[in-house]
Amino acid sequence: MAVGIFDSGLGGLTVLNAAQQRLPDVDFLYYGDSAHAPYGVRDAEDVFQLTRQAVETMWAHGCDLVILACNTASAAALRRMQEGGLPPGKRVLGVFVPLIEALTEREWGDNSPPREVEVKHVALFATPATVASRAFQRELAFRAIGVDVEAQSCGGVVDAIEEGDEILAEALVRSHVDALKRKMPEPQAAILGCTHYPLMEDIFQKALGPNVTVYSQGDLVAESLAHYLERHPDMMGRGPGGFLTSGDATRVSDRATQFLRREITFSAA
């Protein structure tokens, strides 16, 4: 009985890995839209259409619950899909929720007015499309006041990670952190707003310094998913687990195996 996890490429494997460790008895179906990756440089309408098609593919494979383990998809498509109406018995969730829960120290269902929180200066590292959407700032403003968010568009990082070029990815991360710190010299917290970025978490932390709390999505999303399934056990899905891709299954399998450092075998969607 599978829960669907969707990403534009391989970044969502960081969420999948954490979810499998947290929920070992749950089957997961992962779908990477590698034929159209990366999403972070596409416009919002394009991202919405690609995300909608991918989610429908996962529904067709028996996933009643689909997690958009892609910040760009969550930013550009999630609210629009939910407001447009979902088929009966189907749910789509994003990855902003657990981050904001952790940052503001309040439950998502807490609908009290926005309030002051301890963290006042937040650095957001994300793809160009996620930064342009301002979705994170909008959701945060519903729950907290007095928080200064400085967003840094991290062009090139996803491509370098997808290509397995760790040296280039590290250099780009350091460059983007330097650019952020020129705008916000002393952030208290940093949000890694792309599911690819946890693979570079140590580099982000070193570049930011030991006094900055870095929030990474994998474990936060996994814990939030565990609580959600406790409340909604009917969302476990019907289909078998596994790995699907819209791209070259052999090439994606090789990259994924390198990505997670364990053998992963994708099939064509």
Residues marked active site are found at 70, 194
SS3 57: helix
- Give exposure, 63-91, as e/b (b: 16+ Cβ within 10 Å): bbbbbbbbbbbbbbbbeebeeeeeeeebb
Cα three-residue angle 133-137-141, rounded to 5 degrees: 140
121 annotated as belonging to a binding site for a ligand: no
User: By the 8 A CB rule, do 15 and 95 touch?
Assistant: yes
Q: Distance (Å, rounded) from C-alpha 214 to C-alpha 103?
A: 10
Residue where the block lists tokens 């090139």: 156
User: By the 8 A CB rule, do 259 and 199 touch?
Assistant: yes
Residues 6+ apart with CB under 8 A from 145: 114, 115, 116
148 annotated as belonging to a binding site for a ligand: no
72 annotated as belonging to a binding site for a ligand: yes
17 annotated as belonging to a binding site for a ligand: no
227 annotated as belonging to a binding site for a ligand: no
Sign for the CA dihedral angle at 111, 75, 175, 157 comes to positive
40 annotated as belonging to a binding site for a ligand: yes
197 annotated as belonging to a binding site for a ligand: no
DSSP 121-157: EEEEEE-HHHHHHTHHHHHHHTTEES-EEEEEE-TTH
What are the structure tokens assigned to 146, written together? Answer: 């007095």
241 annotated as belonging to a binding site for a ligand: no
**Which segments are annotated as binding site?**
7-8, 39-40, 71-72, 195-196
Annotated binding site for substrate: 7-8, 39-40, 71-72, 195-196
